[in-house]
Amino acid sequence: MIDERIFWVGFNLVKGVGAVRTRKLLDHFGKLSVAWNAPTDALIQAGLPEKSIELLIKKRKAIDLQEYWQTLKQKKISVLTWLDDDYPKRLKEIDQPPPVFYYRGPILPKDDWAVSIVGTRRVTVYGRQITQDTALYLAGNGITIVSGLARGVDVIAHKAALEANGRTIAVLGSGVDVIYPPEHRNLADEIIANGAIVSDYPPGTQPDGVNFPARNRIISGLSRATIVVEAGETSGALITAKFAVEQGRDVFAVPGSILSPMSRGTNNLIQNGAFPMINPKSVLEVLNYSQVVDHQEAQNELASDPVEKRILASLSFEPVHIDELSAHVNLPMAEITAALTMLELKGFVRQDGGMRYLLIKEKPNLYQ
């Protein structure tokens, strides 16, 4: 049986078919597999413009979707669509979420607890220190750090999250197989091992200036809050903050000297209602993260074995397949299976069928 997501990828390869037109096709045809093979008159009735129909017909002739799907698998590129329960919850809540989402490295349920850290590429010594301290603190408290892998604030935030042995997600303005800037390729490999590289652009897409503003709405969309560390008055980080506000997410800005060009954008954000980020702890307080932090600390105290701790840190209340778990903790399958068995006996986790595991919400003596 052909995976229906293959046809979602097919339409993602057709320029001009985004969230709005994908919804129209679904409403008209019921499935994108039907739409992919539909005749021209039916596509017109579905509301697809003539130019998009021409591009679709060319794409259908030029590509074998099953071969393309196998190529994605060979490159270890995974795909999520609106059809998938694992599609990031926060991203799905935004207006017109991307129909197709490509990623390398596991996306875990715990990534629902994410904060984006963004800012200027021309970061000052002050901004560098604040970025590093904030990402270290948040990642050390179980928060996934989201940013854009750009020079400056972004790369500092990613590196600090990794230094804290935390998770981080990089959102690209290119395909997930096209790392930009190129000097960050080694960092990208580290992120894939301890988080994920994601994009709504098809693999092979080259970086382009027009891609990055749209990329910024994905950064804010994956996050419960956005922190802007430093930003000039025309910085792209302010676009991310604008999207965050439109998406109903909290925005924090780091105050700076009124004489510093790199603080004009953040000071303006504060003047217009953003939370002043004086201490990273305030982010947890505003977003009521304390319950999550307390829960994770209790888990770590009760789990005596280091392998068990690593596994618990990668699990949430939503089922995770053992293959995804293995990719994240990077341990032999035999060790993972043995540890899961012990955690089941201790009352920490249970199997949800199909080799998928999740935390048990109520654990005996958890807070005693």
Q: Is residue 148 part of a domain?
A: yes
* Mean pLDDT, each 10-residue run in order, the chain (368 residues): 88 92 94 94 92 93 93 94 90 93 91 94 94 94 94 96 95 95 95 95 92 93 96 90 95 92 92 93 84 53 70 81 86 88 79 81 36
Given 28, 53, 74, the domain boundary residue is 74
Q: How many domains does the chain have?
A: 3
Residues 315, 258 within the same domain: no
Residues 330, 273 within the same domain: no
Q: Is the pTM of this model over 0.95?
A: no
Residues 180, 58 within the same domain: no
Residues 55, 33 within the same domain: yes
Residues 134, 236 within the same domain: yes
Please name which of 279, 337, 153 lies closest in space to residue 228, comparing C-alpha atoms: 153
Q: Are strands 356-359 and 320-321 parallel, antiparallel or unpaired?
A: antiparallel
Residues 276, 163 within the same domain: yes
> Residue 226 corresponds to which tokens in the numbers above?
């956005």
pLDDT of residue 185: 95
Residues 279, 152 within the same domain: yes
Q: Is residue 115 part of a domain?
A: yes
Given 286, 311, 336, the domain boundary residue is 286
> Residue 230 corresponds to which tokens in the numbers above?
């430093």
Segments forming the whole domain that contains residue 65: 5-74
Q: How far apart are CA 351 and CA 344, in angstroms?
A: 8
